[in-house]
Every structure is written in structure tokens, then in C-alpha cells.
């Protein structure tokens, strides 16, 4: 089935597959990207994001970001929120198990009632102890001005500094 025949354009960069797209979908699937991205995305991504939309307890939408590609159950670039009160699941496959993208799943015997009053302190402590963000632990440290240069010049910035070859600019 040609995806453009069934996907609905919500805006220039938001597209939606309705619950009628696949039996068992509990919520629509939203894919973010330009029309070109939507047309060129692997069909398996649409299959996976709509499978996510069938999971128990899923809320609002199953989503796929513009960089979405075929993954292990969830598409890489997939996003879903589950409501435990509605039978929601915890799916380690949603994180992935190859490179994990820096994410981890941890289980404890703590209840929400125990965690909720300490949530801000817990999040602050995690932020303090877990490296996050571009360059937080990398070998290359750059200033705000240099970062702007990277954004504007792309690969050429790297080549100028010996971190790439002229041939890289041809790709």
C-alpha cells in the first residue's frame, strides 16, 4: 500500500496514520518530517510505529521522529508514553538494546507514593551525575562562537581543522 494514499497531512511536518490503518491500533501514529522524508522513509518504519500504537496503555499517539528508521520492535526514533493505570507496559525494546543511545532502564521496588515527594531532588541528582548533552564528555571542547561556525559550515569546519578529508565534502 502506498503510504501517501493513507497518511493524513496534519501540517507541513506532521503526518498521521489513523487507528483504522491497522487492526488493534489504540491511538493514531504520528510521523514528523517533510513530505520528502515521509515518501522516502522505509515502509518497515510505518509498520513498526503502528505496532507501537497497539500496545496496552499507550497514550495519545505513537510517534516517529524525522530520523526514524527500522529498529528492533520500535522504530529507531520512536516515542511512546504509557499509562500504567491503563495497563501500560514498560518496553526495554523501545530504548533499544544495541547501542542504547545512552539510555538505561532501571527497576526498583519504590512506589510512586514514595518517589513523588522527592522527584525534584532525584532529577537534580541524576542531572548532576549523568553526563548529558553534546560534548559533555567528548575530547573536543568548543565555544558558543565555534559551535555557531560548526552549524553554519558543517563538514567544512571539520576538514579545516584536520578532522576530515576534502573527499568528505563530496558526499
42-70: pLDDT as tens digits:
999 999 999 999 999 999 999 999 999 99
**pLDDT of 100 strictly over 60:** no
> Are 114 and 103 spatial neighbours (Cβ–Cβ below 8 Å)?
no
Q: What pLDDT score was predicted for residue 37?
A: 95
Q: What is the mean pLDDT of residues 143-147?
A: 87
Q: Is residue 94 part of a domain?
A: yes
Q: In total, how many domains does the chain have?
A: 1
- Mean residue pLDDT of the chain comes to 87
- What are 57's three cell numbers? 496503555
Q: Is residue 41 part of a domain?
A: yes
Q: Is residue 143 part of a domain?
A: no
Residue with cell 510505529: 49
For residues 115 and 121, give the distance between their C-alpha atoms in angstroms, rounded to a whole number. Answer: 10
DSSP letter for each residue of 32-84: ES-HHHHHHS-HHHHHHHHHHTTSTTB-S-EEEEEEEE--SSSPEEEE--B-G
Q: What pLDDT score was predicted for residue 117?
A: 95
Nearest to 67 by CA among 93, 92, 85, 40: 40
Q: Is residue 160 part of a domain?
A: no
Q: What is the mean pLDDT of residues 32-40?
A: 95
Q: What is the mean pLDDT of residues 84-111?
A: 74
Domain of 69? 1-99
Name, of 110-119, 123-132, 149-158, the range with top average pLDDT. 110-119
Which residues contact residue 117 at a Cβ distance below 8 angstroms, ignoring those fewer than 6 apart?
none
Where is average pLDDT lowest: 56-70, 101-115, 117-131, 144-158? Answer: 101-115
Q: Is residue 64 part of a domain?
A: yes
For residue 96, CA distances in Å to 24, 66, 158 come to 23, 18, 30
Which residues contact residue 102 at a Cβ distance below 8 angstroms, ignoring those fewer than 6 apart?
132
Q: What pLDDT score was predicted for residue 54?
A: 97
For residues 89 and 161, give the distance between their C-alpha atoms in angstroms, rounded to a whole number. Answer: 47
Q: Is residue 25 part of a domain?
A: yes
Q: Is residue 87 part of a domain?
A: yes
Q: Is residue 120 part of a domain?
A: no
Amino acid at each position: 500500500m502506498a503510504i501517501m494514499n493513507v497518511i493524513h497531512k496534519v501540517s507541513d511536518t506532521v503526518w498521521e496514520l489513523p487507528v483504522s490503518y491497522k487492526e488493534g491500533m489504540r491511538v493514531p501514529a504520528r510521523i514528523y518530517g517533510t513530505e520528502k522524508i515521509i515518501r522516502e522513509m522505509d515502509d518497515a518504519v510505518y509498520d513498526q510505529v503502528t505496532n507501537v500504537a497497539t500496545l496496552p496503555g499507550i497514550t495519545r499517539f505513537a510517534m516517529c521522529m524525522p530520523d526514524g528508521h527500522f529498529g528492533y520492535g520500535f522504530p529507531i526514533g520512536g516515542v511512546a508514553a504509557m499509562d500504567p493505570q491503563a495497563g501500560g507496559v514498560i518496553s526495554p525494546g523501545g530504548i533499544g538494546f544495541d547501542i542504547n543511545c545512552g539510555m538505561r532502564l532501571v527497576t526498583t521496588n519504590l512506589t510512586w507514593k514514595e518517589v513523588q515527594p522527592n522527584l525534584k531532588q532525584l532529577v537534580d541528582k541524576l542531572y548532576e551525575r549523568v553526563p548529558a548533552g553534546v560534548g559533555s564528555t567528548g575530547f573536543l571542547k568548543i565555544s558558543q562562537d565555534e559551535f555557531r561556525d560548526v552549524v553554519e559550515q558543517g563538514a567544512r569546519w571539520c576538514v579545516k581543522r584536520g578532522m576530515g578529508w576534502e573527499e568528505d565534502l563530496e558526499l
